[in-house]
Amino acid sequence: MKKICVGIIGVGRIGKIHLNNLSNHFKSIEIGAISDIDEKKEKLCKDYGINKFYKSYKNLVLDKAIDAILICSPTNLHSEQIIFSAKHGKDIFCEKPVDLSLEKTKKVLKIINKTKIKFMIGFNRRFDPDFMQVKKMICSGKIGKVQIIKITSRDPNPPSINYIKNSGGLFIDMTIHDFDMACNMANDKVREIYSTGNARNKKINQVGDIDTALTTLKFENGIICAIDNSRKSAYGYDQRIEIFGSKGMCGITKKNDKTTFLINGKGIKTPFPKDFFITRYKQAYINEIKEFINCLINNDIPSVGIKNAIMSIRIALAAKLSYTENRKVELREIS
């Protein structure tokens, strides 16, 4: 059977993770080419035994050998690259978010629907074994009717200022994962959003973004959700969730590299949490690409696609508006 030939656009932080996973875990595919505007990335091609490196992403898309594309470039380039790839009949996995604006995300939806290509968005947390277990517990009725969802999502360090400038801001870049996770756990549509925040970091403040936020969501079915974010957590990457229901509670605590702990007269010492997304979500990144590849092989539709991308960007834009205008925003305002 002919191997599926995959091309990757952008091999920075996340692109390298996918490159590594594709080359180590999937025998049914080959990596045909890489594209990056940074010529220094050509060395990665050689390191991974990939023959083709394109500085222009269009040349990668136009390469007839390429069947499917992973888009891992900065967010502000995604919609243009998705549209160009879709028009050339390539199946697409795109990192979150699809675009910074709802208009362009909707344009992408139209084109994808017209072309019938396969499209998946990288909401990797849906594929994390722990989050999947929590979702299973909810669905099996073990905690009864869900009433409250609490999400803590704090990064150990902010990304570069250059990254932040093109990211769309905290809600669109970072909280978007939590918005998607909340929708996934609540299994319903958000009705209203309220967000407040602050910029503790001077440089982040100077570029007009914030690094600390609290958001509350109210779903149509009455579930309420609280999300707290920080770009700078002194004790490391903090990813937690708590689901409170009519019959009990379930959730995830911080994931540590080690399980050893020390308790003595001086206090309690436990290991730091996993250092960042690369280690914390290691298995989730493998699982999400596995789903994408399986969908290509079996002609199935990925479980997380453009509709989830639209819902999450609407919530993120509502959160941004709520923060800017300091008021509760109804999701229907963002249509």
Ligand X SMILES: NC(=O)c1ccc[n+]([C@@H]2O[C@H](COP(=O)([O-])OP(=O)(O)OC[C@H]3O[C@@H](n4cnc5c(N)ncnc54)[C@H](O)[C@@H]3O)[C@@H](O)[C@H]2O)c1
Residues that bind ligand X (CB under 6 A): 9-15, 35-38, 41, 57, 72-75, 77, 95-96, 122, 124, 163, 173, 277
Least CB distance to ligand X at residue 96 (A): 6
The tokens for 188 are: 């319903």
Our CB check for ligand X shows the closer of 30 and 42 to be 42
Residue nearest ligand X, CB atom distance: 12
The whole-angstrom separation of Cα 223 and Cα 50 is 48
Q: In terms of CB distance, is 124 or 212 closer to ligand X?
A: 124
Residue 53 Cβ vs ligand X, minimum distance, rounded to whole Å: 11
Backbone angle region of 266, left / alpha / beta, with phi > 0 → left and psi within -120 to 50 → alpha: alpha
What letter does residue 271 receive in the DSSP assignment?
P
* Min CB(328)–ligand X separation in Å: 27
In this structure, the dihedral spanned by the alpha carbons of residues 310, 12, 287 and 91, taken in order and rounded to 10 degrees, is 60
Give the rounded distance of the alpha carbon of 121 from its chain centre.
Answer: 8
Q: Which is nearer to ligand X, 132 or 224 (CB)?
A: 132
CB of 144 to ligand X, least distance (A): 32
Nearest Cα residue to 194 out of 212, 214, 211, 176: 214
- Tell me if 251 sits within 8 A of 240, measured CB to CB: yes
Helices (H), the chain: 13-25, 42-47, 57-62, 75-87, 102-115, 129-139, 161-167, 170, 176-186, 202-206, 277-280, 282-298, 306-325
Supply the minimum distance, in Å, between the C-beta of residue 316 and ligand X. Answer: 12
Nearer to ligand X, 83 or 143 (CB): 83
